[in-house]
Structure 1
Amino acid sequence: MLTLPTAEARLEPYRLTGAPLLPRAPRIPLTRTAFAAAHVVSDPLRERNPWDSRPAVDWETTLAFRSRLWDQGLHLAEAMDTAQRGMGVDWATALELIRRTLRAAKDHPMRPRVACGVGTDHKTGLATPEAILAAYTDQAEAIEAAGGQLILMASRAFTAIGAGPATYRQVYRRLIDQAAQPVILHWLGAMFDPALTGYWGSADLAQASDFVLQLIAENPAKVDGIKISLLDRRHEEQFRARLPEGVRLYTGDDFNYAPLIEGDGTRHSHALLGIFAAIAPAASQALEALAQGDSATYHRLLAPTVPLSREIFRAPTRFYKAGIAFLAWLNGHQRHFIMPAGFQSSRDITHYAQVFRLADQAGLLARPDLAETRMKTLLALHGIDS
């Protein structure tokens, strides 16, 4: 029995009730491509000045977490915002992460895909389209040299200079056309990063959509797909219907992923989701059921994960990484709950208590006794006696 705080500042008893889902590999090929975006595990014994210096990474534990995702048939989106790019993890660390992950993927029996985030975060003061392009190209060349597919992450450099559509076209046209293999574009909404407000050169959603669809249509053979993280189901469905044949919509909607991935019978979304790293057993087994035409099981497995995801990704949404790492700690995938730059402090104890409840109810506390013990430790640090 635990005593958990509520959002109303009360303390209430809670007893674990969920039956854990056992992680396993899919028994048949999946009909949806699913990338999980994974976090980085710190090494707190080697961490120094966490706010001001490069993070100390526990590489063994970080890679073991990725291997567990691959074991369950999921692919990996590496060095994305889930890995705290620009929020505690610098480009040098991200590149080392990418290289280590790509080497590990080559040795994994599932032969997973690894797509890697390309940005401009190693440079500051990017005042011209040429400078932004050069910064992106630096990272793209390093990732391609390591054997990774490119995800062209949204860059704050554009909005910082008030870029219009012509600047976006100039930079993205070159990046897409010069890539060694088809790229994945990345549309991250302001709820994930307020500095990206007005991305694609317009604050009007319809105008921004028209622009990026035209950009894709100019060379669709070099665009694998686009990840959209706007938390707007209707917009994603409308956008998806306008994509050229063969270009995928990778949903980044951590609120509405279940119906978007299932689709409408004509079109469906694939997945590139941070929440899939936290709900891997449910996600993998639901996608297996969908591949078998078993919609009832698909929704039965995913339905209880949606309240959990909405809690983890609640506003301020950019702090969602803390919930991903918290569940990894509860489930024994890491020894501690310390994040690069002390990011675990971005959420409060009532949030963590609610994540604990919802993960239990979704069958996603793999080792209930361990999870309860660790939750009690966190509660005690907050002055709550269980």
Structure 2
Amino acid sequence: MASLILPAPDGGTREYTLQPATEWAKPAAPLTARRAYAAAHVIPETTAENVPGAPARLDWEATLAYRHELWSHGLGVADAMDTAQRGMGLDWAATQQLIKHTGTEAASVVASNNPATAGKTVRDLVSCGAGTDQLDLEALPLGGRGIQAVLEAYREQIAVVSESGPKIILMASRALAKVAESAEDYLHVYSTLLREIDQPVILHWLGTMFDPALAGYWGSEDVATATETFLSLVRENADKVDGVKVSLLDATHETELRAALPEGVRLYTGDDFNYPELIDGDGTRHSDALLGIFAAIYPAASAALQSYDAGENAKARAILDSTRELGKHIFSAPTFYYKTGIAFMSWLNGQQAGFQMVGGLHSGRSVPHLARTFELADRAGLLRDPDLAAFRMSGFLRINGVDA
């Protein structure tokens, strides 16, 4: 078994021995007991100018191969979302290409004979975020002109997603948070868009732990008040809402919201801390999933969902619970840097050539934090080639000054 020297909590070092690789089975049929999307990250060209403010240049082969890997495990892909660094390095020009490429790749999967995706449509396999991040926030006018600019920006992005084939996710908008003066402004923007869209969408409520610029979303910083506004929107437009994706890291709030949703509207948990119990459910209702952590734990997530399909709920819950500590660590504060941990695991597992991220975000976590990510990923059976992972981790530590 592979071993290496890791940083110790006391500031020294210690020897760590990896466990053997876990063999995770891929599904032999589509997953049905829960609907699940893994929010995928993007992989840049290793030699690109991956610094803050530089245009995003992606390694398309590796980025799309990652999505095919997720599909092969029976999971849907949530693309062009915050995990893909929307607003944190992925510019609108690169985002448009990502949406178009992912839609094309999803269509190729639909046409294939993969048993894990049999009978699926492109919209089943991939949902893409439509937002307003092409707007210059500094130049954005306030008042009615600002609201109109937000609407037009959403419409532009909705058109790109619609023409490419994926399901639309209406993302939370920093621009709307800046110009909205009341809950009525939010209801006006979203109701207008929902009337115009010809397919049910996913509504995305992203908390400030993921993006501080979204403070006061839905017109209030009081979560209960904001929730009533959100629910009024969903109830008035239930036929246009496939589901809601809530990322507030509050399990009690999610279960109460889930119970209040209209019949047929799904709650896709975005709670990367409490997903095991939320997906497992309370015996009456359960959450579906649209999770960034699923991009890191996808073999285990798939195995858990396969167990739910087989009626082995206790086994499914145990698998999800076995990944919880890793999820809490990757999404620890400052939570918006969780993407660094997902990219780091991708690199450890040989799915990208270098530990690089667009916008220089690979510097978003410390050496001790990433060493702990490595250890927890190993304990969860999520390092698919322990020898390769140990080799890469050892090199990373050496160049960062950790003595072997």
Q: TM-score range by the shorter chain?
A: over 0.9
In 2, Cα distance between equivalents of 1:254 and 1:76? 16
Judging changes above 3 Å, is the alpha-carbon distance between structure 1 residues 28 and 343 closer, same or farther for their aligned structure 2 residues?
A: closer
Q: Tell me, yes or no, if structure 1 residue 351 matches structure 2 residue 369.
A: yes
Q: Which amino acid aligns with 1:270?
A: D
- Is 1:253 paired with 2:271? yes
The amino acid that maps onto 1:41 is I
2:34 corresponds in structure 1 to: 32
Q: Which moved more, 1:1-10 or 1:58-67?
A: 1-10
Shift in Å at residue 220 of structure 1?
Answer: 0.3
2:394 match: secondary structure: helix
Which range is displaced more, 323-332 or 287-296? 287-296
Deviation (angstroms), 1:28:
5.7
Partner of 1:65: 66
| Equivalent position of 2:101 in the other structure | 100
- Percent identity over the alignment? 50
Q: Distance in 1 between matches of 2:274 and 2:262?
A: 23
Q: Aligned partners of 1:254, 1:201: CA distance in 2, in Å?
A: 25
Matched residue of 2:356: which SS? coil
What's the offset of the Cα at 1:160?
1.8
Rounded to whole Å, the distance in 2 between the matches of 1:75 and 1:49 is 28
CA apart distance, 1:324: 0.5
What residue ranges of structure 2 are gaps of 5+ in the alignment? none
2:135 equivalent to 1:123 = yes
Residue ranges of structure 1 left out of the alignment (5+ in a row): none
Name the residue aligned to 1:336: 354
Contact 1:191 1:317 in 2 (8 A): yes
State the Cα distance separating 1:19 from its structure 2 match: 3.9
Residues 137-176 of structure 1: pairs in structure 2 closer than 5 A = 137-176=155-194
Contact map agreement 1:250 1:271 (CA 8 A) in 2: yes
Q: Contact 1:279–1:364 at 8 Å: present in 2 too?
A: yes
Structure 2 residue 247 is the aligned partner of structure 1 residue 235: no
Aligned partner letter, 1:175: L
In 2, Cα distance between equivalents of 1:180 and 1:264: 33
Counterpart in 1 of 2:321? 303
In the alignment, which residue of structure 2 is the partner of 1:179?
Answer: 197
Aligned to 1:113: 125
Call closer, same or farther: CA 1:122–1:7 in 2, change over 3 Å: farther
Report the secondary structure of 1:320's partner residue: helix
Alignment check: 8 A CA contact 2:50 2:357 kept: no
Tell me, in whole angstroms, the C-alpha distance in 2 between the residues paired with 1:24 and 1:373.
27
Q: Distance in 2 between matches of 1:29 and 1:194?
A: 35
Kept in 1: contact 2:24–2:299 (CA 8 A) = yes
Letter in 1 for 2:79: E
TM-score by length of 2: 0.93
Q: Distance in 1 between matches of 2:283 and 2:236?
A: 28
The two structures, once aligned, show a CA RMSD in angstroms of 1.3
Measure how far apart 1:10 and its partner are: 2.8
SS in 1 for 2:93: helix
Shift of 1:148: 2.2
TM-score, structure 1 as length reference: 0.97
CA separation of 1:21 and 1:300: change in aligned 2, threshold 3 A: farther
4+ long deviations beyond 6 Å: none
Encode CA deviations 1:232-260: one digit per residue, 9 max, x unaligned: 00000000000000000000000010110
| Deviation for aligned residue 1:101 | 0.6
Provide closer, same or farther for how the CA distance between residues 28 and 38 of structure 1 changes in structure 2, counting only shifts above 3 A: closer
Structure 1: distance between partners of 2:25 and 2:207: 32
Q: Which residue of 2 aligns with 1:288?
A: 306
